[in-house]
Structure formats: C-alpha cells, structure tokens
Amino acid sequence: MIIKKDSFVFQLFAAGIVFLGISASHLSRKNENISKDQLPSKPLNGEFDFKLRENVILRESDQKDEFIFNQVIDFAVDSQENLYLLDFKMGSSRILKYGREGDFINSVGQTGQGPGEYAFPIRIIFDQKDNLYIVEQNRLICYDARSNFVGTIQLPFVIDLPDGNIWINGQGIIYAVSQDISEEGVLKTLVKYDPGSERVTKILDISSPEVRISGKREGGVVAGIFHAYVPRNFLRPYLQDQFLFATASQYMVKIFNGQGHCLGNIKRSIKPELIHSSEIEAIKRSSKKIRKSADGFFFPKYRPYIKQILADEKGRIYIVRVPSVLSNDAADEMDIFNRDGQYLYRAKIPFLPKIIKNGAFYVLATDHEEKRAIKKMMIINYADF
C-alpha cells in the first residue's frame, strides 16, 4: 500500500475552508513558569532508523455501513487498544468503536440536540479512566468505557480551531487552548478550567501573528485560511498527570504538571527558515483546486518548526518537523528527546503519526485505491532506544 501523509488537523479547514469565531472572556491571572532550557544542535546518538512492521487495523469498505466513511477527522485509542473513529458529516457525524483487530463493536451516541447527542464534533479524547469525551467548540460530551452517556460539560470559552486542543487531568481539571476572534484579531490562550468551581485561569497567551481578520460574515468574523504554514498549537498528555504544550512558531515544548505549573522547556538550537515566494505560490495553487479564490491567505515570516508532537509511556518526546512544501522527500524529519530534555536522535519517518502507544505508531493513511485505513506501525527496534 502507498501511504499518503495526512495532516491530522480538522480536515474541513485544512481543505481551505475559512472558520468563524465566537468571543469568550473568563480569564484570571497567569501562572509563573519555571524554565530549565537546553539548546542542543545535534543529537547525542545520531540518526535512528525505525524498523517498522505494518498492521492494517481498519480499512474502508463498500460492503458494510460501519466501514463506509465520509470524512475521518480524528481517531483515538484507549488503554485496551480499542479504536474510536470520528467520521464527520454535517448533520450526521458518527463516533464508531472497533476492537484492537478492527472488528466493529458499537457506535457511541448519535447526532442531535438531546442528552448525549452531538452536533458538530471536532475531536475525541480520553481521560485517565478511559472515559471518552466528544469535543465540540464549547462543550464536552462524556461516555464511559462501555459507551454509556455520563454527562455534558459546558465550557465558558471556545476551543481553538482547527486543532481542538484539550486535555483532562486525573482530578477532572480541563486544560485547553481557547480562541477569541473579534474584529481586532485572533487571541488564543492556554487556559485551566475547573468544572466544579467554574473557574477559568489563564496559563499562557499565545500570539497568532499569522492570523488576521480577512472579512465579516453573519455570526462572526473570518479569520483566514488554514494551510501548511499556519503555525498550529499542540497540547498533549504526558507522564504522571502532566501535559506538553507547544506552538509551531517556536522550537520549544513546555512541560506542565497537573496544576498548570511549567516544569521546564525543551528547546533545540535551529536556524529559522524564511518562507520564499515560490512556497507561497505553491500553497495558493494547491488551494485553487478546492477554492475559486486565493484571497484570505496569511503567512508568517518564517516557516513553522513543528508539524506534530507525540509522547510515549517512557517519557520520550517525538517532534515532527514542518518540511518545505516544495520538498520531494517522502519522509519528514523527526527529533526525539528523553524526559530530561536531552536530544537523543534524529530520524526520518514516511508518514505522519497520530499516536504512539505500546511501541507502535498509529496513522491514518490512504492507499492506492483511495481507501482510508488506520494502520498500526509496530516499531520492531523500539527497545533499541
């Protein structure tokens, strides 16, 4: 099978559709950060060559409804390696559960406006008890490990698009990137929310110099078109009730504990790459295949650094670099750090992984027949790190 790289963002927007924002403001003072920076330029152990064994867990089929997909925009894996898939279609999205070998188990909830129903899901995540949360822009719909509806959490802020960054700690405290769009511009903020006290605390302001207001529409303002060089934000679960946060415009990953205090930063000394006019034109040409107009594009001065961040159960952090859109290399560069921030390895990876779990990458791929599949890429030499 031929693997095509997927962006693992909300693909409706990655296709070039503009997005609307809703205002929200319930923030308190910023927490103090403790920085323990390291600035390595070269990996301690050189290059690492992943030895991979492919296992297709789930493949699209025309035979059964539960294997016919509209637009797969997210998937997640629980502690038992069951697979949950978010199949998006306006007005009739589905959350489907499959076993570790790809056998269909059940659907979770349904589209609608009633209790336990969802209207516009953008992500699916798990907490540490294997409860499933269906993420919408301003609420979370929770189901237990047996797909029973537990409850709904209404959020006093709007979760960022297109990434839908959110994490829930062991005490049920929610960390998320909120988004506030007005005629003055776009403000994204890392926030902490306690559903019990309904208190929202600002952790970190996130500058978005690449996103400006390109127009107005009924119900909101248009904040520009998502493309390969828009710096994304990444909020990922980490060890012992910790989480990682980064914005792609900086090569820096912050480590936070479950109380929202920064424990340190992982950095790498790396030269910024100016975005050339040929790259801008290539992005606009690609977009014209989908959109009639190339208006609404905004570009930062420098190419973003980070395309994806993952963390495994040993505390190693995997950072996939953003390549040039003009590159003919089928593989992306990946930097691998240990839990102490040491830059261990540089590697090449021919797909964009969504998850690393129990010594395997999980990836959404499209084969030569244009059929979508979830693949588990076992790292045969995982013990060699």
pLDDT at 15: 38
The pLDDT mean for the chain works out to: 84
pTM score, whole prediction: 0.86
Please choose, from the candidates 309, 135, 296, 156, the residue with its C-alpha nearest in 3D space to the C-alpha of residue 227.
Answer: 296
Tell me the per-residue pLDDT of 22-72, one tens digit each, with 9 for 90 and over.
333 333 333 333 344 557 789 999 999 999 999 999 988 877 888 888 889
Confidence category of residue 224, pLDDT binned at 50, 70, 90: low
- Flag whether pLDDT at 335 surpasses 70: yes
pLDDT at 158: 93
Lowest mean pLDDT among 1-15, 97-111, 182-196: 1-15
- Flag whether pLDDT at 21 surpasses 60: no
pLDDT at 20: 38
Structural domains in the chain, sorted by start: 11-46+57-357 (2.120.10.30)
Lowest mean pLDDT among 25-34, 39-48, 110-119, 129-138: 25-34
Please choose, from the candidates 120, 129, 137, 122, the residue with its C-alpha nearest in 3D space to the C-alpha of residue 168.
Answer: 129
Q: What is the mean pLDDT of residues 362-367?
A: 90
Tell me the per-residue pLDDT of 311-323, one tens digit each, with 9 for 90 and over.
999 999 999 999 9
Tell me the per-residue pLDDT of 246-305, one tens digit each, with 9 for 90 and over.
999 999 999 999 999 999 999 988 889 999 999 999 988 887 655 555 556 778 889 999
